[in-house]
């Protein structure tokens, strides 16, 4: 079955079958030997990697804050081989899990499996049965599955040797990608014996996030914080106003970049528009975002990994999901929402430590896009009251789909409200029936924490604008923001060495092609969404000449089609 990620040659691996039953011993098989024989790395460990592995093997709990491309995953992959039973890896993105699981099975001969919504409940249960039977060393799973009745049925039968929390900043309210479901991991940790090792991993935790994560995880023996410097990345900012200037710049510069790259956009429609334009220019491109079907996204990931694209235009859905060593350039079409987001996303480039380029295309008006997302991250307070009232009126409980149908809220908004209400103990979730019921308690919903987080995120948006406008080293600004000591210039960015980024002046021909494309060349796709709401008939007038004439005729009584 497709969900069972075993390695057919597992029994013939260099270590044999016995490690599945007893685990290795530190004295008989040092990690340096594993690094060469199992992981095919002859250059040795990065400073700090061996230390973390040894601490884990001795049952310690660690928060590791290390730069992107440092090799954080290697720490738990090697440490897991010293334990007789299962290592559970909680990970936020299916693409990330697929990539790591495939590497473990095909490259490192570590029997690994995934449980996720990519598979049917029957397939996930079959995987769980094999996990309980001891057929896997690593299980990759999303924190959202902790609410699943099937998970709760099987987890009590699992023999757990180690827990790994990838992208651990997701635990923190102050983290750049806070996910309420990550808080459920804390409950699991509290139920485990104190000698079960825990490894929390992140590349993007400033001091505030670090303290919040420590408070959530508890009893972390050691914080291992390394430098955030990425000396092989050449950073720059290009101030370009509007799609006309941005597309002209990309059309001129992309043919000169070597290898494969990623262009990040703030919106799905921009990713589609950009990919359409590049394809028309003869550049092998595609677009990637959460609105595309899983099978399509997986196909794009595989083609990107095998260098079948020049560029993939994507929202941050591709951010942490791809561990491709030879991404040669990362371009941001819109300003990101914070310095932490930018560091995480640009960190996809140059993971093989070879020179790579990271360019931010800055238009001051793009800031309003991110402001909109921040202000609308959580629904208005009145919708919390509506959902809570409905649950109080239905003592038997309601499912998520019932609430969506009744309120007209989107799936994302409904899930956010339910997670917040559950965290504040106004409701409880029954995984078996998949229903939510109200808890009898007094008091009002506390929105103060959400308001504080919103203000913090607006401040972070202001901080990324400071990055754009700073007159010092771009890399130093980011690494200092993430907790490094100031004073380390990269000597490669657009501030330190301007000759690395000569001026780009698009030809008149390219500018004309872009103008024509923006007039006539693109219609956005209306995405299917799991929402229950009143239907609307939409027409797109956009920038095209025909669209402007229709708009003027319909709404301004001034066009050629006016009655």
Per the CB < 8 A criterion, the answer to whether 171 and 186 are in contact is yes
For residue 387, name the pLDDT band (cuts at 50, 70, 90): very high
**pLDDT tens-place string over residues 83-101:** 999 999 999 878 788 889 9
Percent over 90 (pLDDT), the chain:
56
Per the CB < 8 A criterion, the answer to whether 367 and 335 are in contact is yes
Give the residue carrying structure tokens 């229950």: 532
CB atoms near residue 120 (< 10 Å):
11
CA distance 554 to 339: 44
CA distance 146 to 181: 8
The 3 state secondary structure assigned to 407-454 is HCCEHHHHHHHHHHHHHCCCEEEECCCCEEEECCCCCCCCCHHHHHHH
Give the residue among 375, 367, 500 at the shortest CA–CA distance from 450: 375
CA distance 189 to 63: 14
**pLDDT tens-place string over residues 271-314:** 999 999 999 999 999 999 988 988 999 899 999 999 999 999 99
Two domains, one topology: 10-225 and 233-371+470-520: yes
**pLDDT tens-place string over residues 504-518:** 999 999 999 999 999
Question: Quick one: tokens of 129?
Answer: 């049965």
This prediction has a pTM of 0.78
| Beta strands, E only, 274-426 | 285-288, 311-314, 327-332, 356-362, 398-399
**pLDDT tens-place string over residues 152-171:** 889 889 999 999 999 888 88
For residue 533, name the pLDDT band (cuts at 50, 70, 90): low
Q: Taking the domain 233-371+470-520, which CATH number applies?
A: 3.40.50.300
Percent over 70 (pLDDT), the chain:
87
Higher pLDDT, 330 or 93: 330
Q: Taking the domain 10-225, which CATH number applies?
A: 3.40.50.300
**pLDDT tens-place string over residues 350-375:** 999 999 999 999 999 999 999 988 88
Residue 12 confidence (pLDDT): 32
**pLDDT tens-place string over residues 49-63:** 999 999 999 999 999
Residue 6 confidence (pLDDT): 36
**pLDDT tens-place string over residues 460-517:** 999 999 999 999 999 999 999 998 988 889 999 999 999 999 899 999 999 999 999 9
Question: Quick one: tokens of 81?
Answer: 């081989």
Residue 74 confidence (pLDDT): 95
Q: Say yes or no to pLDDT of 7 above 50.
A: no
Q: For residue 41, report the phi and psi dihedrals to the nearest 5 degrees.
A: -115, 115
376-449: in CATH 1.10.10.10? yes
For residue 404, name the pLDDT band (cuts at 50, 70, 90): very high
Residue 8 confidence (pLDDT): 32
Lowest mean pLDDT among 141-145, 329-333, 425-429: 141-145
Residue 14 confidence (pLDDT): 34
Residue 11 confidence (pLDDT): 31
How does the average pLDDT of the chain come out, rounded?
86
For residue 262, name the pLDDT band (cuts at 50, 70, 90): very high
- Please state the rounded mean pLDDT for residues 101-113: 94
- Residue spans per domain, the chain: 10-225, 233-371+470-520, 376-449, 533-563
């Amino acid at each position: 079955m497709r969900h069972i990620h075993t390695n057919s040659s597992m029994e013939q691996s260099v270590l044999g079958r016995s490690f599945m039953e007893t685990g290795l011993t530190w004295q008989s098989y040092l990690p340096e030997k594993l690094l060469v024989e199992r992981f095919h790395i002859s250059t040795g460990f990065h400073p700090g990697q061996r230390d973390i592995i040894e601490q884990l093997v001795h049952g310690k709990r660690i928060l590791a804050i290390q730069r992107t491309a440092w090799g954080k995953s290697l720490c738990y992959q090697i440490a897991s081989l010293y334990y007789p039973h299962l290592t559970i890896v909680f990970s936020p993105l299916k693409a990330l899990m697929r990539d790591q699981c495939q590497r473990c099975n095909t490259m490192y001969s570590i029997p690994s499996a995934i449980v996720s919504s990519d598979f049917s409940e029957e397939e996930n249960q079959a995987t769980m049965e094999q996990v309980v039977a001891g057929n896997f060393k690593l299980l990759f799973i999303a924190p959202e599955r902790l609410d699943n009745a099937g998970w709760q049925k099987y987890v009590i039968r699992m023999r757990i040797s180690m827990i790994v929390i990838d992208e651990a900043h997701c635990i923190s309210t102050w983290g750049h990608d806070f996910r309420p479901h990550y808080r459920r991991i804390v409950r699991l940790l509290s139920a485990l014996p104190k000698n079960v090792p825990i490894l929390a991993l992140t590349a993007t935790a400033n001091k505030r996030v670090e303290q919040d994560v420590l408070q959530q995880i508890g009893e972390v023996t050691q914080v291992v914080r390394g430098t955030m410097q990425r000396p092989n990345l050449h950073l720059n900012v290009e101030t370009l106003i509007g799609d006309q200037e941005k597309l002209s710049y990309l059309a001129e510069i992309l043919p000169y970049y070597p290898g494969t790259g990623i262009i990040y956009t703030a919106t799905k429609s921009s990713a589609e528009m950009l990919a359409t334009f590049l394809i028309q220019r003869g550049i092998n491109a595609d677009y990637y975002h959460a609105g595309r079907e899983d099978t399509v996204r997986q196909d794009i990931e595989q083609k990107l990994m095998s260098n079948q694209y020049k560029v993939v235009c994507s929202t941050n859905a591709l951010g942490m999901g791809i561990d491709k060593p030879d991404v040669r350039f990362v371009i941001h079409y819109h300003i990101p929402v914070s310095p932490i987001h930018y560091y995480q996303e640009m960190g996809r480039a140059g993971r093989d430590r070879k020179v790579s380029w990271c360019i931010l295309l800055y238009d001051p008006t793009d800031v309003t896009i991110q402001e909109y997302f921040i202000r609308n991250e959580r629904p208005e307070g009145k919708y919390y009251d509506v959902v809570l009232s409905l649950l109080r009126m239905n003592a038997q409980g309601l499912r998520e789909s019932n609430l969506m149908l009744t309120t007209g809220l989107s799936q994302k908004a409904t899930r956010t409200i339910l997670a917040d209400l559950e965290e504040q103990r106004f409701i409880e979730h029954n995984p078996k029936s998949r229903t939510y019921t109200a808890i009898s308690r007094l008091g009002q919903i506390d929105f103060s924490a959400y308001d504080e987080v919103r203000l913090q995120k607006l401040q972070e948006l202001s901080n990324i604008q400071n990055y754009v406008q700073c007159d010092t080293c771009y890399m130093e600004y980011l690494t200092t923001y993430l907790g490094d000591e100031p004073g380390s210039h990269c000597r490669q960015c657009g501030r330190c060495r301007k000759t690395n980024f000569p001026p780009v002046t698009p030809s008149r021909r390219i500018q004309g092609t872009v103008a024509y494309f923006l007039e006539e060349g693109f219609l956005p796709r209306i995405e299917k969404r799991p929402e229950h709401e009143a239907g609307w008939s939409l027409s797109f007038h956009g920038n095209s000449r025909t669209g402007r004439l229709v708009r003027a005729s319909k709404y301004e009584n001034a066009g050629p089609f006016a009655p």
